A and B are shown apart, each in its own frame.
Chain A
Amino acid sequence: MAARSALIAILAAVVLVPAPGHAETRPAYGGTLTASLLAAPTTLDPVRAQTSAELSVVGLVFDTLYGGGADHPPRLAAGAPVIVDDGAGHVTATIPIRQGVLFHDGSPLTANDVARSLLRLQSSPAGWLLAGVTSIAASDPHTVVMTVTRSLPVTELLAAPQTAITPGGKPPSGAHVVGSGPFELSSLDYRRHRIVLSAFDAHFAGRPYVDVLALSWFEHARDEARRYETGRAHISLRGETAFSGHAPKYVTRVLESGASVLVYVGFGQGHRGLARDIELRRAVSAAIGRGGLRHIGAGEAVIPALSPVSPAAGGNIPAASARVAHPAQARAHLAKVGQRWPAVANVIAGKGALTLEIMVDRSRPEDREVAEKLARAIYRIGLGAHIDEVAPQTFARRVHDGACDLYIDHLGLPMIASAQKAPAYWEVMAAFVAGGDPFAQKAPSTDIDALLAAFSQRLPIVPLYHRSIRAHIRGDVRGAAFSPAGRLTQADLFLFGHPEPTRAP
C-alpha cells in the first residue's frame, strides 16, 4: 500500500499543462448535469485518492495551491513561491496564500490550514512526495514557509491533487467532506452508486455554471451505455460499450483524453506472502500478452505498458515482441518461485494445484475483462485463478490490508505537456527509488531504463496498459474538455439549449 501511494504521488507530482480552452458563447447558469465516473470513489481524502474517479471528485471538491498545466497558475496560492537559497544548503520557499477563500462550511482559508494539510501529507504513505521538504510552517495567516534541501519544483509538487487543502489539515470524515473546491458534496450514496455535488456559490474562482453535478458509477458497462443511449445522461464514459453502431438518442460528440490511466496488477500478501515474491511478479508479467488487452473497454485508446510511466510522460511503448506473452520465460521465473515456495514447486512438478485469487473492484466493469485475461495468462503457466469481484470499499480495505493475492487496480496518471518537463518527473521518481529523499543519493540516476528497472524491484505491481478516457457528451453540454491529467473539466461545463435528436421524429 505504501508503494502504491508512493506511486500515486510520484506520478502526480509532475508538471501539468492546462488544456486549451473551449470557448462557448453565452454560458448559462443552472441545471443538473448527469455524468458518470469510471468507478466508485472509495475515498474522498486527497492524500489517498488514486483512481480516475477519486481524483475527479477530489478535484471538484478540493483545491490545490497551484493548478496543473504548463504554467501552474496559482489557485489557493496568491502567487508563485519565492525561493531563497542562502548558499549554505538551506533553501526556503515562501508561498503567499490567497485571501478571501472560503471553505464549504464558511470558514476562511488560512496559512495554518495549508501548513497542516501539507504536514498531514508528509506523515501519510504518500509523504515522500514532500521528502525534500524539511519544515513547513505558517509564518503569518497568509504565508507558508517551507524549508527544502535544495531547489525543488515546488509549484509542480504542489499542483499534485494529493496536496489539496482541507480545513485544519483534517481528513474528510464520512459524509462530512469539506473543501474549498467549486462543488460541495451533497450526498454520497454507495448503495445507489451516486454522488451528488452542488455548486459552491462562494468559490474563489467563481461559481460553476451548473447547479448540480450528479455522478454515477456502474457495475455493468451496458447499464451506463444504455442510460446514455436513451438520453438519460449528459455525459457517459462508456457510451459505445453496449451497442454496436452507437446510435444515441441525441447528437453526441466524443472527447478522448490522453492515456492517463494506468491499469496494473497489484500483489497482496496472500498465500503467506507468496504473492509478493518478485519472481512471481516477473512470471505474471511475462505470462500476460499485453497485446491481447488492446480491445478492452469502451473503445478508448489502450497502450500496452511495461512500466508505470505513460509514453506521454516519457515512458517507452513496448515493442511488438514485448506485447506478446512469453510463457517459457514466465515458467522460468515461476521455477525460481518454486525454489522458495513448496506450493509452487508442487504445481511445477504436477503434484498439486495452486489457485490465486484475482480481486476486482466490481464498480470497474472493464477490470473483470482484465482479470479474465490475467487468469488465462497464469493458467498457461500452470497456476489456477479465481476471480473475486468485491464491493469498492471492500476492495480498498483488502488492498490496504494486503488481504488478497492479485488485484486489478487503476492509477490516474498525470500527463506531461512536453518532453522538456520529463526531467522533473524523473527527479521525483528518483526520490522514490532512493528511498524517499530525492537527494539522499549524491548523483541520482536520470537514466529512465535504470529507474524503471529499480521501479520494478520496489513497486509490487505489474503494469498492464495505459488507457485514455473516452467521454460521450450530449450536444447541449458545453465547456467540456480534458485536463492534461486526464480529468474532464466538469467545473466548466454548462448546459446550452436543448439536445438535438439524432434522427428526425
Chain B
Amino acid sequence: MIGLRTRLTFSFAALALVPIAAAALVSREVLSSRYHQEQRTLADNVRRAAHRQVERFTHRVVASTAAIASSDHPLVGSLLIDLAKFGPNLPADVLRSTRERSAPVMRGVGLDALTIASARGLIITAPHDRSAEDEVDARLIARARRQDGKATFAFIPIFTGDTIDEVLMCEAARIAGGDDQWVAVAGAVAVGPGLIDPVRQAGVVDARIVDPKGRVIVAAAGDFDAMAGGPRLRLPLVGGDGEPVAWVEVAISDASLSASLSELSRRAVLLAALALAVTVALGFWVARRMTRDLDRLVTGANAAARGDLDHRVTVTSRDEISAVAHAFNAMMIDLKASKEKLVIAERLAAWQEVARRLAHEIKNPLTPIQMSVETMRRTFATQHPEFGEIFEESTATILEETARLKRIVGDFSELARIPKPKKQPCNVDDIVAGAVALYRGSIAVKARLAGDLPVAHVDRDQIAQVIINLLENARDAVATSELQEIIVTTDLAAPDRIAITVSDSGPGISPDARGHLFAPYFTTKGGRGTGLGLAIAHRIASDHGGTITAGDSAMGGASFTVELPLR
C-alpha cells in the first residue's frame, strides 16, 4: 500500500513535471532553430568559398600558362627562334637544352605539368613526363585552339613513380607565337588537396573530389561518410567538352549541431531532473509536515487499540488536524474514565461471580452438614434407638463436607496466592520434557519438541504447572475415548514468542463451554474437578505476558496453545 506521504510526494512531482518538461522542450526547440539557421548560413558561406577556390585555382593555371605561352618568355621565345632556324626537327642539343630549361620554368610558375608541342603536334618538351616527349599529340593543338587559354579539368595520363596514372588536372592550353611560327603550350596543375584545403574546417567542413563514377580522387581529410547528416554540396569541375569530369563534394558536419542539441537536451534533462528532485524534496517535506500530525493520530489510535488510554496526541499546528487531535485526546480521556468504570464494574461482577460460585460451592457441603446436624438433633431428641449409628454417619458426613469446604477454601486461597513469576533463562523444551516425563507409564503422551528454541525468560515451576494442568485436563478428556492420544508440541510462534500446544483425542470442547473455559470454578468434570486448573494456567500465562487459547485438535479433540514471550 502506498502511503499518503508517498502519494503526496508523487503528486507534487507529477504536477511539477509537466511545466518543467514543457520549458525544456521549448528551450530546445528555440535553440535548435537558431542552430539550424547558423548551419544554413555556414553552408552558403562554404558554397561561396568553394566556388571562389575553384576560380582561384583555375585562374592560377591560366595565369601561369599565359606567362609561359608568350614569345617574350625566354623559353618559348628562344624555342620559336630555334624552330625558325632549324625547322620542326630540332637538333639534339637544342632539344636537350630546351628540355633542361623547361623543368625549372614549369616549377617556377607553379605548374605541375607543362607541354610544348610544335605546330605538327610533336611534343618538344614535357618536363613533368619525359615519356610524352617526342610523341605526336594532335589533340593538344586542338585544345590550345579551342580553349584559347581558358582552363578546364581533365584526367591526364602521367608517369607517377613507376606507373602511368590518370591524374586529374586543371589545364590551360594556348597558342604562342605568330602566324609563321608558333607552338602550343599547355600548363596544368594537379588537382590535389590544395584545391579543397581552404574550404575545409576541421571537424566542421570536409571536402573531397570524386569522378563521375564516384571514385575518390582526392580523399577527404577525415571520415567523409561520417559527416553524413549535414548539408552536402557538389561543385562540378568542368572538362573541355563542358561536361563535368569530376566533382568537388563538400560535407558540412551536423556533428556540432547534434552535439549542441545533445548537450542542450542533456542539460535540459539535467535541469528538469534537478527541478524534479527539488520538487520531490519539497513535496516530501510538505507531505511530511502534513502527515506528521496524522502519524501522531495513528500512533495514538494504535495506543488506544492496545489499551493505552493514557496516550495523548501532541500537535503543533493549528489546523483541522489539530482539532482532530484535540478531539482524539478528549476521547481518550473519556475512554479512560469509562474503562476505569468498566473495570471496576467488571471486577465487581467478577468477584460477584466468584462469590456466587464460591458461595455455591460452600453451600453445597453446608446442606449435608446442616441436614446431618438436624438429623442428629432430632434423633437425639427422640432418643432414637439407632442414634449411635446415625451419629456416626452424620458426623462422618459433617467431617467429609467440612474437609470439602476446607479444600475449596484452600484452592481459592491458592488461586489468590499465585506469586509473581520469577523469570530466569530456561529451555522451554526441557520444561515440557520434564512435565511429560511425569506421565510416562500412565498414558501415551507424545512430545514433539522444536529442539532449537531460543532461551526464554520464564518461571520454570509456573510454566511446568501450566503444562501439567493442561495434561491433566487432556488425560481426563481421553479417559473415555477410544483413541487415547495426547501430543505436546513446542515451536516458535513468532521470532520473539514460543508456543506450547497440548492436543488430545478426547471429545473436544462444546460450544457452550468455550466462553467459560478459563473462568474460575468452571468445570465440565462434575464433582471431580475444581474448575481452577485452566484459570490458574490462564493467570500464569497472563503474568508472563503471554496468552492461552483453546481450539480443536487435528485428532478431533481439544487443543490448548500457550504463547509466551521470550522475555
A299-B96 contact given A376-B157, A385-B164, A387-B162, CB 8 Å threshold: yes
CB of A245 closer than 8 Å to a CB of B: yes
- Is the CB–CB distance between A299 and B93 below 8 Å? yes
Does B97 interact with chain A (Cβ within 8 Å)? yes
B52, CB-defined interface residue at 8 Å: no
User: How far does the alpha carbon of A389 sit from the alpha carbon of B161 in the complex, in Å?
Assistant: 11
Min CB distance, A393 to chain B, in Å?
A: 20
Of A117-125, A285-293, A424-432, the stretch lying at the interface with chain B is A285-293
Which of B100, B132, B162 lies at the interface centre, i.e. has the most chain A CB atoms within 10 A of its CB?
B162
With known contacts A289-B136, A376-B135, A244–B96 Cβ distance under 8 A: yes
Interface residues of B in 92-129 (CB under 8 A from A): 92-93, 95-97, 100-101, 129
Known A244-B100, A379-B164; judge A292-B93 contact (CB<8 A): no
User: How far is A324 from B134 in the complex, measured between Cα atoms in Å?
Assistant: 10
Please report the C-alpha to C-alpha distance between residue A163 and residue B93 in the assembled complex, in whole angstroms.
Answer: 40
With contacts A299-B96, A369-B130, A375-B159 taken as known, whether A289 is within 8 angstroms of B164 at the C-beta atoms is no
Nearest-CB residue, chain B, relative to A242: B100
Determine if A294 is an interface residue (Cβ-Cβ < 8 Å).
yes
A295: interface (CB < 8 Å)? yes
Cβ of B164 and Cβ of A384 under 8 Å apart? yes
Neighbouring B residues of A384 by C-beta, 8 Å: 163-164
Does A193 have its Cβ within 8 Å of any Cβ on chain B? no
Other-chain contact of B135, A244, A292, A369 (Cβ < 8 Å): A292
- State how many angstroms separate the Cβ of B154 from the closest Cβ of chain A: 16
Q: Answer yes or no: B262 CB below 8 A from chain A CBs.
A: no
Closest to B166 in A: A379
Q: Is B133 an interface residue (CB 8 A)?
A: yes
| A492 lies within 8 A of chain B by Cβ | no
CB nearest neighbor in B for A297: B92
Contact B92 A385 (CB under 8 A): no
Contact count band on B: 20 to 34
- Bound complex: CA of A463 vs CA of B530, how far in Å? 146
A295 contacts B134, C-beta separation under 8 Å: yes
- Contact: A386 with B162, CB < 8 Å? yes
Contact A295 B100 (CB under 8 A): no
B159, A372: Cβ atoms closer than 8 Å = yes
A385 to B162, CA, bound (A): 8
What's the minimum C-beta distance from A73 to chain B, rounded to whole angstroms?
37
User: B131 on the interface (CB 8 Å rule)?
Assistant: yes
Residues of A within 8 A of B134 (CB): 291-295
Residues on B with C-beta less than 8 A from A445 are: none
Closest to B132 in A: A376
Given contacts A289-B136, A386-B162, A388-B162, contact A375 B131 (CB under 8 A): yes
B9 to chain A, nearest CB (A): 74
> What sequence of 0s and 1s flags, for each residue 388-400 of chain A, a beta carbon within 8 Å of any chain B beta carbon?
1100000000000
Could you name 10 residue pairs across A and B whose Cβ atoms are closer than 8 Å? Answer: A240-B93, A240-B96, A244-B100, A244-B101, A292-B133, A369-B130, A375-B159, A379-B157, A379-B164, A388-B162
Q: With A and B bound together, what is the CA distance between A373 and B133 in angstroms?
A: 9
CB of A489 closer than 8 Å to a CB of B = no
Give bound CA distance, A373 to B100, whole Å.
Answer: 19
* 8 Å CB interface, A343-375 against B: 355, 369, 372-373, 375
Report whether A376 and B164 are in contact in the complex, using a CB–CB cutoff of 8 Å: yes
A385 & B163 in contact (Cβ 8 Å cutoff):
yes
Across the interface, do B97 and A295 meet the contact criterion of CB distance under 8 Å?
A: no
> Which residue of chain B has its CB nearest to the CB of A384?
B163
Q: How far is the CA of A299 from the CA of B90 in the complex (A)?
A: 13
C-alpha gap A299/B100 in the complex (Å) = 14
A355-B130 in contact given A299-B96, A379-B157 (Cβ < 8 Å): no
Contact of B93 with A295 in the complex, beta carbons under 8 Å: no
B162 closest partner in A (C-beta): A387
Q: Which residues of A contact B101 (CB under 8 A)?
A: 244
Give the residues in chain B near A293, CB-CB below 8 Å.
134
Cβ of A225 to closest chain B Cβ, rounded Å: 12
Minimum CB distance partner of B95 in chain A: A295
B164 CB contacts on chain A under 8 angstroms: 375-376, 379, 384-385
Which 10 A-B residue pairings sit nearest by Cβ, starting from the closest? Answer: A372-B131, A292-B134, A387-B162, A376-B131, A244-B97, A379-B164, A244-B100, A292-B135, A386-B163, A373-B131
Tell whether, in the assembled complex, residue B163 and residue A355 are in contact, meaning their CB atoms are under 8 Å apart: yes
- CB-CB nearest in chain B for A373: B131
| Assembled-state Cα–Cα distance A373/B157 (Å) | 12
Given A289-B136, A376-B157, A379-B157, are A369 and B163 also a contact pair (CB < 8 Å)? no
A372 and B130 alpha carbons, distance in the complex (Å): 8
Asked if B92 and A295 sit within 8 Å, CB to CB, the answer is yes
8 Å CB contacts to A: which residues of B125-160?
Answer: 129-136, 157, 159
Most chain A C-beta atoms within 10 Å of own C-beta, residue among B92, B131, B133:
B131
Since A240-B96, A295-B134, A372-B130 are in contact, a sample of 9 more A-B pairs with Cβ atoms closer than 8 Å, ordered by chain A residue number, is A240-B93, A246-B93, A289-B136, A292-B136, A293-B134, A295-B95, A355-B163, A375-B164, A379-B164
CB distance from B162 to the nearest CB of A (A): 4
Point out which of A240, A375, A384 has the most chain B C-beta atoms below 10 A from its C-beta.
Answer: A375
Q: Give CA–CA (A373, B134) in the complex, Å.
A: 10
Chain A residue nearest to B136 in the complex (CB): A324
**Residues A289 and B157 in contact, CB atoms below 8 Å apart:** no
Quote the shortest CB–CB distance from B518 to chain A (angstroms). Answer: 109
**In the bound complex, CA of A244 to CA of B162 (Å):** 26
Q: Which residues of chain A in 221-242 are interfacial with respect to chain B, using CB atoms and an 8 Å cutoff? A: 240
Taking CB atoms, residues of chain A closer than 8 Å to B129 are 372
Could you tell me the distance between the alpha carbons of A369 and B132 in the complex, rounded to whole angstroms? 10
**Bound Cα distance from A246 to B95, whole angstroms:** 14
Cα A240 to Cα B132 with chains together (Å): 21
Q: Please name all residues of chain A whose beta carbon is closer than 8 Å to the beta carbon of B163 when the two chains form the complex.
A: 355, 375, 384-387
What is the minimal beta-carbon distance from B116 to any residue of chain A, in angstroms?
A: 14
Residues in B whose Cβ lies below 8 Å from that of A292: 133-136
* Chain B residues, CB < 8 A from A388: 162
Q: Which residues of A contact B130 (CB under 8 A)?
A: 369, 372
B136 / chain A contacts, CB cutoff of 8 Å: 289, 292, 324
CB distance from A125 to the nearest CB of B (A): 31
**Across-interface contacts of B95 in A (CB, < 8 A):** 295
**B-side contacts of A372, CB under 8 Å:** 129-131, 159
Contact A295 B133 (CB under 8 A): yes
- Separation in Å of the A195 CB from the closest CB of chain B? 29
Closest residue of chain A to B91 (Cβ to Cβ) is A299
- Distance, CA A299 to CA B94, complexed state (A): 11
A384 to B165, CA, bound (A): 9
Partner of A245, one of B97, B135, B157: B97
User: Across the interface, which residues of A come within 8 angstroms of B96, CB to CB?
Assistant: 240, 244, 295, 299
A245–B93 Cα distance when bound, in Å, is: 8
Q: Which residue of B lies closest to A388 (CB)?
A: B162
